[in-house]
Amino acid sequence: MTDILTRDHGGAVDRAIAQYGGTPADWLDLSTGINPKAYPLPEISRRDWTTLPGQDASLQLLDAARGFWRVPQRVDILAANGASALIAMVPNLVPAGTVSIPEPTYNEHAAGFRNAGWQVIPELTAAEGLVVVHPNNPDCRLWSLPEMDVGSRALVIIDESFCDVAPDKSLVDLCERPNIIVLKSIGKFWGLAGLRLGFAMGHPSAIAKLRELLGPWPVSGPALTIGHAALSDQNWAQDSRMLLASACQRMDAMLEKCGVSFVGGTDLFRLYRVADAADFHRTLAAHHILCRIFPYSKHWVRLGLPGSKSDWGRLERALSDLE
Protein backbone atom coordinates (compact mmCIF):
# COMPACT_ATOMS: atom_id res chain seq x y z
CA MET A 1 0.00 0.00 0.00
CA THR A 2 1.30 3.49 -0.86
CA ASP A 3 2.29 5.53 2.17
CA ILE A 4 -0.25 8.33 2.64
CA LEU A 5 2.61 10.81 3.04
CA THR A 6 4.13 9.91 -0.34
CA ARG A 7 1.02 9.83 -2.54
CA ASP A 8 1.15 12.30 -5.39
CA HIS A 9 -0.17 15.63 -4.10
CA GLY A 10 0.59 19.30 -4.28
CA GLY A 11 1.97 21.24 -1.33
CA ALA A 12 5.18 19.22 -0.85
CA VAL A 13 7.36 22.22 -0.08
CA ASP A 14 9.50 20.19 2.31
CA ARG A 15 10.50 17.84 -0.50
CA ALA A 16 11.23 20.79 -2.79
CA ILE A 17 13.49 22.29 -0.13
CA ALA A 18 15.40 19.02 0.17
CA GLN A 19 16.09 19.08 -3.57
CA TYR A 20 16.45 22.78 -4.36
CA GLY A 21 17.33 24.36 -1.02
CA GLY A 22 15.95 27.36 0.80
CA THR A 23 13.58 27.61 3.74
CA PRO A 24 9.76 27.48 3.80
CA ALA A 25 9.69 31.28 3.86
CA ASP A 26 11.70 31.38 0.61
CA TRP A 27 9.19 29.36 -1.38
CA LEU A 28 6.11 30.42 -3.30
CA ASP A 29 3.84 27.37 -3.35
CA LEU A 30 1.68 27.37 -6.48
CA SER A 31 1.27 23.59 -6.47
CA THR A 32 -2.13 23.66 -4.75
CA GLY A 33 -5.52 25.06 -5.70
CA ILE A 34 -5.97 27.09 -2.52
CA ASN A 35 -7.24 30.67 -2.52
CA PRO A 36 -4.13 32.82 -1.83
CA LYS A 37 -6.30 35.51 -0.20
CA ALA A 38 -7.75 33.49 2.65
CA TYR A 39 -10.86 34.33 4.60
CA PRO A 40 -9.95 36.70 7.47
CA LEU A 41 -10.04 34.73 10.70
CA PRO A 42 -12.51 35.82 13.40
CA GLU A 43 -11.46 36.06 17.02
CA ILE A 44 -11.17 32.64 18.66
CA SER A 45 -12.13 32.53 22.32
CA ARG A 46 -10.19 30.63 24.96
CA ARG A 47 -13.31 28.52 25.46
CA ASP A 48 -13.09 27.30 21.84
CA TRP A 49 -9.65 25.92 22.64
CA THR A 50 -10.20 24.54 26.12
CA THR A 51 -13.63 22.87 26.11
CA LEU A 52 -15.14 20.06 24.08
CA PRO A 53 -17.06 21.34 21.02
CA GLY A 54 -20.66 22.07 21.95
CA GLN A 55 -23.84 20.92 20.26
CA ASP A 56 -25.15 24.47 19.76
CA ALA A 57 -21.99 25.54 17.90
CA SER A 58 -22.18 22.41 15.75
CA LEU A 59 -25.80 23.12 14.81
CA GLN A 60 -24.99 26.74 14.00
CA LEU A 61 -22.23 25.60 11.64
CA LEU A 62 -24.54 23.15 9.89
CA ASP A 63 -27.28 25.78 9.55
CA ALA A 64 -24.75 28.16 7.95
CA ALA A 65 -23.61 25.39 5.59
CA ARG A 66 -27.19 24.60 4.60
CA GLY A 67 -27.86 28.24 3.84
CA PHE A 68 -24.63 28.92 1.94
CA TRP A 69 -24.89 25.85 -0.29
CA ARG A 70 -28.72 25.92 -0.51
CA VAL A 71 -28.98 22.35 0.68
CA PRO A 72 -32.49 20.87 0.40
CA GLN A 73 -34.26 20.48 3.73
CA ARG A 74 -34.73 16.73 3.27
CA VAL A 75 -30.95 16.33 3.04
CA ASP A 76 -28.81 15.81 6.14
CA ILE A 77 -25.36 17.43 6.59
CA LEU A 78 -22.32 16.22 8.47
CA ALA A 79 -19.19 18.26 9.25
CA ALA A 80 -15.84 16.51 9.70
CA ASN A 81 -12.17 17.27 10.17
CA GLY A 82 -11.55 17.84 6.49
CA ALA A 83 -12.97 16.38 3.29
CA SER A 84 -10.14 13.82 3.36
CA ALA A 85 -11.59 12.22 6.48
CA LEU A 86 -14.92 11.81 4.69
CA ILE A 87 -13.26 10.51 1.53
CA ALA A 88 -11.72 7.74 3.61
CA MET A 89 -15.07 6.88 5.21
CA VAL A 90 -17.65 7.00 2.40
CA PRO A 91 -16.58 3.69 0.77
CA ASN A 92 -17.88 1.94 3.89
CA LEU A 93 -21.47 3.07 3.37
CA VAL A 94 -22.39 0.06 1.21
CA PRO A 95 -20.84 -3.38 0.66
CA ALA A 96 -17.68 -3.32 -1.44
CA GLY A 97 -17.91 -4.02 -5.15
CA THR A 98 -16.57 -2.29 -8.24
CA VAL A 99 -16.30 1.49 -8.35
CA SER A 100 -15.77 3.69 -11.39
CA ILE A 101 -13.38 6.60 -10.72
CA PRO A 102 -12.61 8.21 -14.09
CA GLU A 103 -9.00 9.37 -14.33
CA PRO A 104 -7.22 11.68 -14.15
CA THR A 105 -8.62 12.94 -10.88
CA TYR A 106 -7.86 13.42 -7.19
CA ASN A 107 -6.13 10.20 -6.15
CA GLU A 108 -7.36 9.93 -2.55
CA HIS A 109 -10.73 8.65 -3.74
CA ALA A 110 -9.21 5.57 -5.34
CA ALA A 111 -7.03 4.99 -2.28
CA GLY A 112 -10.03 5.17 0.03
CA PHE A 113 -12.07 2.69 -1.98
CA ARG A 114 -9.19 0.26 -2.36
CA ASN A 115 -8.56 0.36 1.38
CA ALA A 116 -12.23 -0.56 1.91
CA GLY A 117 -11.96 -3.60 -0.37
CA TRP A 118 -13.40 -2.16 -3.58
CA GLN A 119 -12.09 -2.85 -7.07
CA VAL A 120 -11.34 0.50 -8.70
CA ILE A 121 -11.96 0.96 -12.42
CA PRO A 122 -10.18 4.13 -13.68
CA GLU A 123 -12.78 5.01 -16.29
CA LEU A 124 -16.51 5.64 -16.59
CA THR A 125 -18.23 2.24 -16.51
CA ALA A 126 -21.42 0.63 -15.24
CA ALA A 127 -19.94 -0.19 -11.82
CA GLU A 128 -21.81 -0.40 -8.51
CA GLY A 129 -20.06 2.74 -7.31
CA LEU A 130 -19.07 6.01 -8.96
CA VAL A 131 -16.86 8.89 -7.85
CA VAL A 132 -16.65 12.16 -9.77
CA VAL A 133 -14.86 15.36 -8.83
CA HIS A 134 -16.97 18.29 -10.01
CA PRO A 135 -15.28 20.37 -11.33
CA ASN A 136 -12.51 17.84 -11.77
CA ASN A 137 -8.97 18.25 -10.52
CA PRO A 138 -6.87 18.89 -12.57
CA ASP A 139 -8.73 19.39 -15.89
CA CYS A 140 -11.94 21.10 -14.63
CA ARG A 141 -14.31 18.63 -16.27
CA LEU A 142 -17.93 19.24 -15.26
CA TRP A 143 -20.32 16.31 -14.94
CA SER A 144 -23.98 16.03 -15.88
CA LEU A 145 -26.67 13.78 -14.47
CA PRO A 146 -27.24 11.71 -17.66
CA GLU A 147 -23.59 10.74 -18.13
CA MET A 148 -23.24 9.64 -14.49
CA ASP A 149 -26.12 7.14 -14.76
CA VAL A 150 -26.76 7.43 -11.02
CA GLY A 151 -29.99 5.43 -10.95
CA SER A 152 -28.25 2.10 -11.52
CA ARG A 153 -25.59 2.52 -8.83
CA ALA A 154 -25.44 1.64 -5.15
CA LEU A 155 -23.25 4.63 -4.23
CA VAL A 156 -22.34 7.87 -6.00
CA ILE A 157 -19.85 10.36 -4.55
CA ILE A 158 -19.73 13.87 -6.01
CA ASP A 159 -16.72 15.81 -4.72
CA GLU A 160 -17.39 19.54 -5.04
CA SER A 161 -14.27 20.77 -3.24
CA PHE A 162 -13.55 23.23 -6.08
CA CYS A 163 -17.14 24.15 -6.96
CA ASP A 164 -17.51 27.26 -4.78
CA VAL A 165 -16.00 29.47 -7.47
CA ALA A 166 -18.93 28.43 -9.69
CA PRO A 167 -21.93 27.86 -7.38
CA ASP A 168 -24.34 27.76 -10.31
CA LYS A 169 -22.69 24.51 -11.42
CA SER A 170 -23.29 22.70 -8.12
CA LEU A 171 -25.10 19.36 -8.16
CA VAL A 172 -26.10 19.57 -4.50
CA ASP A 173 -29.78 19.04 -5.38
CA LEU A 174 -28.94 15.49 -6.43
CA CYS A 175 -28.07 14.43 -2.89
CA GLU A 176 -31.79 14.11 -2.13
CA ARG A 177 -31.41 10.72 -3.80
CA PRO A 178 -30.61 7.93 -1.32
CA ASN A 179 -27.48 6.74 -3.15
CA ILE A 180 -25.72 10.10 -3.65
CA ILE A 181 -23.30 11.90 -1.32
CA VAL A 182 -21.97 15.39 -2.11
CA LEU A 183 -18.71 16.47 -0.47
CA LYS A 184 -17.65 20.06 0.22
CA SER A 185 -14.48 21.64 1.60
CA ILE A 186 -13.62 24.88 3.36
CA GLY A 187 -9.93 24.50 2.51
CA LYS A 188 -9.93 25.55 -1.15
CA PHE A 189 -12.22 28.52 -1.83
CA TRP A 190 -11.79 30.04 1.62
CA GLY A 191 -8.04 29.39 1.61
CA LEU A 192 -8.18 27.63 4.98
CA ALA A 193 -6.61 24.26 4.20
CA GLY A 194 -5.03 24.03 7.64
CA LEU A 195 -8.43 24.34 9.32
CA ARG A 196 -9.36 20.80 8.19
CA LEU A 197 -13.09 21.27 7.75
CA GLY A 198 -15.23 19.40 5.25
CA PHE A 199 -18.88 18.43 4.79
CA ALA A 200 -20.91 15.48 3.53
CA MET A 201 -24.49 15.94 2.33
CA GLY A 202 -26.90 13.15 1.60
CA HIS A 203 -29.87 11.03 2.62
CA PRO A 204 -30.35 11.02 6.44
CA SER A 205 -29.71 7.26 6.65
CA ALA A 206 -26.35 7.52 4.88
CA ILE A 207 -25.25 10.55 6.89
CA ALA A 208 -26.27 8.81 10.12
CA LYS A 209 -23.94 5.93 9.25
CA LEU A 210 -21.10 8.33 8.45
CA ARG A 211 -21.71 10.14 11.74
CA GLU A 212 -21.39 6.83 13.60
CA LEU A 213 -18.14 6.01 11.78
CA LEU A 214 -16.58 9.38 12.59
CA GLY A 215 -17.46 9.26 16.28
CA PRO A 216 -18.03 12.22 18.64
CA TRP A 217 -16.49 15.69 18.20
CA PRO A 218 -15.36 15.33 14.56
CA VAL A 219 -14.80 19.11 14.32
CA SER A 220 -12.70 21.21 16.69
CA GLY A 221 -14.07 24.22 18.58
CA PRO A 222 -11.98 26.74 16.59
CA ALA A 223 -13.09 25.14 13.32
CA LEU A 224 -16.74 25.43 14.36
CA THR A 225 -16.33 29.16 15.01
CA ILE A 226 -14.29 29.91 11.89
CA GLY A 227 -16.44 27.74 9.63
CA HIS A 228 -19.64 29.40 10.84
CA ALA A 229 -18.22 32.86 10.17
CA ALA A 230 -16.94 31.93 6.71
CA LEU A 231 -20.15 30.25 5.57
CA SER A 232 -22.23 33.16 6.86
CA ASP A 233 -20.29 35.77 4.86
CA GLN A 234 -21.85 35.90 1.41
CA ASN A 235 -20.32 39.31 0.66
CA TRP A 236 -16.80 37.98 1.10
CA ALA A 237 -17.62 35.03 -1.14
CA GLN A 238 -18.93 37.25 -3.92
CA ASP A 239 -15.93 39.59 -3.74
CA SER A 240 -13.52 36.67 -3.68
CA ARG A 241 -15.04 35.11 -6.80
CA MET A 242 -14.47 38.33 -8.74
CA LEU A 243 -10.87 38.64 -7.52
CA LEU A 244 -10.08 35.04 -8.39
CA ALA A 245 -11.59 35.34 -11.88
CA SER A 246 -9.47 38.44 -12.55
CA ALA A 247 -6.34 36.68 -11.28
CA CYS A 248 -6.96 33.75 -13.62
CA GLN A 249 -7.20 36.07 -16.62
CA ARG A 250 -3.89 37.59 -15.61
CA MET A 251 -2.29 34.16 -15.19
CA ASP A 252 -3.52 32.94 -18.60
CA ALA A 253 -2.14 36.06 -20.30
CA MET A 254 1.27 35.59 -18.65
CA LEU A 255 1.50 31.95 -19.70
CA GLU A 256 0.32 32.65 -23.23
CA LYS A 257 3.37 34.87 -23.72
CA CYS A 258 5.55 31.82 -22.99
CA GLY A 259 3.90 29.79 -25.74
CA VAL A 260 2.03 27.67 -23.21
CA SER A 261 -1.43 26.38 -24.13
CA PHE A 262 -4.40 26.39 -21.76
CA VAL A 263 -5.96 22.98 -21.04
CA GLY A 264 -8.52 23.72 -18.33
CA GLY A 265 -8.93 24.77 -14.75
CA THR A 266 -11.11 26.52 -12.24
CA ASP A 267 -10.73 30.01 -10.80
CA LEU A 268 -8.51 28.43 -8.12
CA PHE A 269 -5.98 26.72 -10.41
CA ARG A 270 -5.04 26.55 -14.08
CA LEU A 271 -3.86 23.57 -16.12
CA TYR A 272 -1.46 24.18 -19.01
CA ARG A 273 0.24 22.09 -21.65
CA VAL A 274 3.97 22.67 -21.99
CA ALA A 275 6.70 21.07 -24.10
CA ASP A 276 8.40 19.45 -21.10
CA ALA A 277 6.64 19.50 -17.73
CA ALA A 278 9.72 18.33 -15.79
CA ASP A 279 11.84 21.11 -17.30
CA PHE A 280 9.14 23.68 -16.55
CA HIS A 281 9.04 22.43 -12.95
CA ARG A 282 12.83 22.68 -12.59
CA THR A 283 12.94 26.18 -14.04
CA LEU A 284 10.37 27.49 -11.57
CA ALA A 285 11.96 25.55 -8.71
CA ALA A 286 15.26 27.31 -9.40
CA HIS A 287 13.37 30.48 -8.43
CA HIS A 288 11.90 28.69 -5.38
CA ILE A 289 8.46 28.51 -6.97
CA LEU A 290 6.65 25.19 -6.69
CA CYS A 291 4.20 24.11 -9.41
CA ARG A 292 2.39 20.79 -9.85
CA ILE A 293 3.31 18.16 -12.42
CA PHE A 294 1.80 14.71 -12.79
CA PRO A 295 3.26 11.19 -13.07
CA TYR A 296 0.82 10.35 -15.87
CA SER A 297 1.63 13.30 -18.15
CA LYS A 298 4.90 14.67 -19.55
CA HIS A 299 3.19 17.87 -20.65
CA TRP A 300 0.68 18.99 -18.02
CA VAL A 301 1.53 21.65 -15.45
CA ARG A 302 -0.92 22.96 -12.87
CA LEU A 303 -0.46 26.38 -11.29
CA GLY A 304 -2.26 27.95 -8.39
CA LEU A 305 -2.59 31.72 -8.12
CA PRO A 306 -0.10 34.16 -6.59
CA GLY A 307 -1.60 36.28 -3.85
CA SER A 308 0.51 39.45 -3.67
CA LYS A 309 2.18 41.93 -6.00
CA SER A 310 5.60 40.57 -5.10
CA ASP A 311 4.49 36.99 -5.74
CA TRP A 312 3.20 37.92 -9.17
CA GLY A 313 6.54 39.59 -9.87
CA ARG A 314 8.44 36.46 -8.83
CA LEU A 315 6.39 34.32 -11.17
CA GLU A 316 6.85 36.73 -14.06
CA ARG A 317 10.63 36.70 -13.58
CA ALA A 318 10.71 32.92 -13.45
CA LEU A 319 8.61 32.64 -16.60
CA SER A 320 11.04 34.95 -18.41
CA ASP A 321 13.64 32.17 -18.18
CA LEU A 322 11.27 29.93 -20.10
CA GLU A 323 10.83 32.51 -22.83
How many of the other CB atoms lie within 10 Å of CB of 41?
13
Do the domain assignments include residue 78?
yes
pLDDT at 6: 46
pLDDT at 7: 60
Confidence category of residue 322, pLDDT binned at 50, 70, 90: confident
Say if residue 210 is in the same domain as residue 285: no
Cis before residue 135, ω within 30 degrees of 0? yes
Name the amino acid, one letter, at 281: H
Q: What percent of the chain has pLDDT over 70?
A: 98
Tell me the pTM: 0.95
pLDDT (mean) for 156-167: 98
On average, the pLDDT of the chain sits at 95
Name the amino acid, one letter, at 187: G
pLDDT at 323: 65
Say if residue 221 is in the same domain as residue 249: no
Q: How far apart are CA 191 and CA 267, in angstroms?
A: 13
pLDDT (mean) for 202-214: 96
pLDDT (mean) for 245-268: 96
Q: In terms of residue numbers, what domain contains 272?
A: 13-38+235-322
Do the domain assignments include residue 273?
yes
Confidence category of residue 3, pLDDT binned at 50, 70, 90: very low
Confidence category of residue 4, pLDDT binned at 50, 70, 90: very low
Question: Total domain count for the chain?
Answer: 2
Say if residue 213 is in the same domain as residue 171: yes
Do the domain assignments include residue 313?
yes
pLDDT at 11: 82
Do the domain assignments include residue 1?
no
Find, among 231, 266, 235, the residue nearest to 251 by Cα: 266
Say if residue 106 is in the same domain as residue 219: yes
pLDDT at 39: 98
Query: What are the pLDDT digits (tens) for 30-69?
Result: 999 999 999 999 999 999 999 999 999 999 999 999 999 9
Q: Where are the beta strands (DSSP E) in 108-242?
A: 119-121, 129-133, 155-159, 180-185, 198-202
Do the domain assignments include residue 4?
no
Say if residue 157 is in the same domain as residue 188: yes
Query: Among residues 199, 232, 265, which one ends one of the domains?
Result: 232
Say if residue 112 is in the same domain as residue 193: yes
Say if residue 110 is in the same domain as residue 192: yes
pLDDT (mean) for 9-37: 93
The 8-class DSSP code of residue 83 comes to H
Asked if 148 and 132 touch (Cβ cutoff 8 Å), the reply is: yes
Dihedral pair phi/psi, residue 68, rounded to 5° = -65, -45
Say if residue 60 is in the same domain as residue 153: yes
Find, among 82, 137, 142, 141, the residue nearest to 106 by Cα: 137
Find, among 104, 100, 35, 32, the residue nearest to 263 by Cα: 104
Check pLDDT > 70 for residue 2: no
315-317-320 Cα angle (round to 5): 110
Do the domain assignments include residue 3?
no
Check pLDDT > 70 for residue 267: yes
Check pLDDT > 80 for residue 113: yes
Do the domain assignments include residue 8?
no
pLDDT (mean) for 282-294: 96
Find, among 201, 193, 195, 188, the residue nearest to 66 by Cα: 201
CATH of the domain at 25: 3.90.1150.10
Say if residue 55 is in the same domain as residue 103: yes
Confidence category of residue 10, pLDDT binned at 50, 70, 90: confident
Query: Among residues 232, 261, 278, which one ends one of the domains?
Result: 232
pLDDT (mean) for 281-289: 96
pLDDT at 1: 36
Query: What are the pLDDT digits (tens) for 130-140?
Result: 999 999 999 99
Query: Among residues 206, 232, 258, which one ends one of the domains?
Result: 232
CATH of the domain at 78: 3.40.640.10
pLDDT at 222: 98
Q: How far apart are CA 278 and CA 36, in angstroms?
A: 24
Say if residue 64 is in the same domain as residue 164: yes
Do the domain assignments include residue 62?
yes
Torsion of CA 160, 164, 165, 170, to 10 degrees: 60
Query: What are the pLDDT digits (tens) for 61-106?
Result: 999 999 999 999 999 999 999 999 999 999 999 999 999 999 999 9
Say if residue 85 is in the same domain as residue 194: yes
Say if residue 78 is in the same domain as residue 188: yes
pLDDT (mean) for 24-30: 96
